[in-house]
Each structure stands twice: as structure tokens, then as C-alpha cells.
Amino acid sequence: MSVSTLSRRSLSAAVLSGYAFMAANLTVQVLLVPLYLRTLGTEDFGVLMLTLGMVNFAAVGIGWLSGSLQRVLGEYAGRGDRAGFFRALKIGRAFYVGYAALAGLTAVTIVWLKTDGDPSRSMLKIAALAALYFIIQYDLAIERLAHTAEGRQATANLLQLLALILFAAPLPFVLPAGGGLAAVFLSLIASVFVARLMSAACWRGRRAFRESRTDGDLIRRLTGRLAGGYFVYGLFLLAMQADVLLVGWLGGAEAAASFVLIWKIAEVAIQIVWRIPEALSPLLIHMDARGEREQLRSVYARSGRGLSLLALAAGGAYAAIGPWLSEAWLGAAYASSDRLGFLLAGGAIFWLASARLPSIYAYSLARLVPLNRLAGAELAAKFVLTVVLFPKLSYLAPLAAINLTHLFGAAYAYRRLGRSLTAAGAAP
């Protein structure tokens, strides 16, 4: 049995809305950075980037919950259990917003102590605004996660897109008028608040009339071994995407810059391909919760062929026209002309994009032990090869390491993982 027409439409909407948000986000970044520099100055621009970077990094503190919560919410949605779904959502919201409030209060306290408790200091005001943004952003984040778990990823993506547009739209008028950093954070807060109101409207008429009381077993499942498995995989995935830090550590800032000039566009291409299997995740959880093994096998077979061809096309295209793309992006003065680098980057696109589908299957079906073993082995092999190859290949060492790791075992291991998850005798 193939994916239903409704599911195909939902997947198409999820992928297209995801691409729309990626394109809008890239456009906004390109347009706002010069505006920030002209109106805020270099110092305040640095403060803004540092503050937003710290807000993003703070997600590590609650990342252990996101995977298990999406899995549990998806199970309830797949079985049509509205009371269980909204009970889990209530528990997740308490953890998310509580963590954000605690982290925000801690940050404001630290800044207050550094400013000797003087509330007139501008940094204390900025810290308070950033903390408020952090709290409501996490309230919206749990909403987006719930929409995604229910299979309405397009809704989650459009909420992000709405917040992005509402944030960026007033800044070209407010910043030249002297709004400063406070105006940026007020715009962030207002945009997220409106998106949160829109999310609440999406649940209207669909929420369970009477939700069951908080279940201790549910809390233990959300915060126990399941959450630990998702957290470990998140750390592995984060470490595997930190190549620029490893190159900088081994070869310094110049080597890191040379690596970014070759790898940045390839990284975007990988993210574009990854959007497709990632959009399958809620559907896979629903199928697994209902025990629909044949549908899981059918989706894997059909998706695997298409994604392999797409990965091959993306990798081959970048290997062939990467130098031209680099020159179009950076100009002849800064573009890289390292043909070997673009060939290795094209191969890395193919391997990493091809491995995403079995990874998403294991992640969605909560088969985290084999997934983490494989991801850990891949990370270790890639790290060792990068260090060993760096004296000869310099900034190209991570790209060579990716190709060698997958060519000599990781690619086969991922295919084997996918087959084991969809085999006729696999445990539901």
C-alpha cells in the first residue's frame, strides 16, 4: 500500500513550505546584515549576534526532550488519542517554558550583577528583552513541534515564516530612526507573539474537551531512556556538523575560511535534500504507532530510490559547477578554484544525503540504539581520518574523511540499517 493522496499532499506542502522558509530566512539575513552594520554599528551588531547565538546554543539544555516528545505526540496523533496528545503537549510546554524562564532569569541576573545592579544600564535592558524573547520563542517552539507531530508540518513552517516576515518588515523603518538594539528585540518579541496567537487559532475546535490528569508514566517516558537516546543522537549530529571548528583547531582561521568557501554552498544543498526525508518523520511515527509495517516498507522503497537519484544529481552538479557557483557568490577575488575540493564536496553531498533516509527511519521509529552506534562509529572514524589526513590535505581533510568513511563502510551500514528497520520480521 502506497502513501495516501492526503499524505502526499501533506508531504508536498511540508517540503515546499520548508523551502519557502529557508529562502526567506536567507534573504532576510542577506538584507538585514548591512542594515544592522549601518544603523547599529559594529559593536552593537556584535552584541546582537552574540546574544542570538547564545539563545540558539541554549537549546542544548532542553534538546533531550524534543525527540522523545515528538515521538510520543506522534504516537497519540497516529492513534487518534486527542486527550493523550494534549496531555503530553501540556507536560512538554511546562518543561520548555519553565526551562526558558529559568535560563532567561539566570542570564538577566548575571548581567545585573555585572552592571552592579544599575537598571539604567542599557545591557540590562537588552538582557531582559532577550530573556522575554527566549521565553515566548520556546512557547512557540513547543507549538510548532506539536503541529509537526500531528503531521501538519506546513502549519509549523508557515508559523516560522510569518514570524520571520513580521520581524523583518518594520526594521528598515525603525532602525534608521534610531531604534537601536531594543527595537530589534521588540520586533522579535512582537513577531513571535503574533505567530503564537495564530498557532492557538489553529487548535480551535480540535482540542480535547477534557484532558486527563498528568500521568507519571508519561513523564518518565518523556524524560527517561527514550529522551536519553534522542539526546545522544543530537549530540552526535551536532558534532558531525562542526567541521569548521575542527579545521580551525587544526589549521587556524585561514584554513577554516578556506574550508567554508568550498563547503558552505554544499552544506545548503545537503539541507535542501534533507528536507524531504525529514518531512516524512511524522508520517512514519503514525504508521509505526498503528503497526502498519507494509506501508513503512513501501514508503522506504519508493523514497529511497528517488532520494538516491536526487543525492547523486546534487553531488554531481556541485562537483561540476562548484567553482562557477563560488565565483558567482563571492566574486573572482575570493572564490576558491580548488577542483579537488569541489570534487570531494560533491562526493560528501551524495554520501550524507543518501544516509539521511535510514537515519530518519531509525529516529522516527525510536530505534535509537543501532542509530547511535552507527552515528558514533561514523563520527569517530571521520574525526580520526581528518586528524591523520590534515598534514597532507589541510582544510580538505574533513571532506576526504567523509568520503572515505562512507566509501569503506558507513554507506553500507546505513543501507543495512534501513533494510533491518523495514524487514518483514522487524519488531513493530
Note the pLDDT tens digit of each residue in 166-187. Answer: 999 999 999 999 888 889 999 9
Query: Does 278 lie in the same domain as 180?
Result: no
Mean per-residue pLDDT, 244-252: 87
pLDDT digits (tens, 9 = 90+) for 14-46: 888 889 998 998 888 878 878 888 888 877 887
Please, is 190 exposed, middle or buried when counting C-beta atoms within 10 Å of its C-beta (0-12, 13-18, 19+)? middle
314's grid cell: 546534487
The DSSP string of 275-305 is HHHHHTHHHHHHHHHHT-HHHHHHHHHHHHH
Helix, strand or coil for residue 68? helix
DSSP state of 213: P
Top-confidence residue, 5 or 233:
233
Residue 428 lies in a domain: no
Query: Does 138 lie in the same domain as 275?
Result: no
Query: Does 327 lie in the same domain as 207?
Result: no
Identify the domain boundary among 203, 221, 239: 221
Average predicted confidence (pLDDT) for the chain:
86
How many residues in total does the chain contain?
A: 428
Tally of domains in the chain:
2
Instruction: Please tell me the predicted confidence (pLDDT) of residue 408.
Output: 94
Top-confidence residue, 358 or 46:
358
Q: How many CB atoms lie within 10 A of CB 309?
A: 10
pLDDT digits (tens, 9 = 90+) for 261-289: 888 889 889 989 998 898 888 889 999 98
Top-confidence residue, 214 or 256:
256
Residue 66 lies in a domain: yes
CB 185 within 8 Å of CB 126: yes
Query: Does 414 lie in the same domain as 300?
Result: yes
Instruction: Please tell me the predicted confidence (pLDDT) of residue 426.
Output: 55
Instruction: Please tell me the predicted confidence (pLDDT) of residue 209.
Output: 46
pLDDT digits (tens, 9 = 90+) for 94-135: 999 999 999 888 888 887 777 665 554 577 888 888 899 999
Q: Could you give the CA distance from residue 64 to residue 313 in angstroms, rounded to a whole number? A: 35
- pLDDT of 5 > 70? The answer is no
- pLDDT of 2 > 60? The answer is no
Helix, strand or coil for residue 78? helix
Query: Does 184 lie in the same domain as 282?
Result: no
Q: Could you give the CA distance from residue 223 to residue 64 in angstroms, rounded to a whole number? A: 8
Query: Does 76 lie in the same domain as 11?
Result: yes
Instruction: Give me the residue label for grid cell 494534549.
Output: 86
Task: Compute φ and ψ for 295, nearest 5 degrees.
Answer: -65, -40
Query: Does 328 lie in the same domain as 258?
Result: yes
Identify the domain boundary among 221, 237, 271: 221
Domain with 160, as residue range(s), is 5-221
Helix, strand or coil for residue 120? coil
Query: Does 56 lie in the same domain as 150?
Result: yes
User: How close are the terminal C-alpha atoms of the chain, in Å?
Assistant: 17
Q: In the Cβ-directed half-sphere of 320, how many Cα atoms lie within 13 Å?
A: 6
DSSP state of 423: S
Query: Does 264 lie in the same domain as 208?
Result: no
The C-alpha angle with vertex 115 and arms to 114 and 117, in degrees rounded to 5, equals: 110
Query: Does 140 lie in the same domain as 21?
Result: yes
- pLDDT of 406 > 90? The answer is yes
Residue 427 lies in a domain: no
Report the predicted TM-score, pTM, of the whole model to 2 decimal places: 0.79
Q: Which residues contact 28 (CB under 8 A, 6 or more apart)?
A: 164, 167, 168
Nearest to 11 by CA among 157, 120, 136: 157
Residue 396 lies in a domain: yes
Q: Which residues contact 109 (CB under 8 A, 6 or more apart)?
A: none
- pLDDT of 312 > 50? The answer is yes
Instruction: Please tell me the predicted confidence (pLDDT) of residue 210.
Output: 52
Instruction: Please tell me the predicted confidence (pLDDT) of residue 1.
Output: 36
Instruction: Please tell me the predicted confidence (pLDDT) of residue 427.
Output: 52
Identify the domain boundary among 173, 196, 221: 221
Residue 236 lies in a domain: yes
For the ranges 214-228, 286-300, 383-397, which has the lowest average pLDDT? 214-228
Residue 306 lies in a domain: yes
Query: Does 214 lie in the same domain as 295?
Result: no
Query: Does 121 lie in the same domain as 102?
Result: yes
Instruction: Please tell me the predicted confidence (pLDDT) of residue 206.
Output: 62
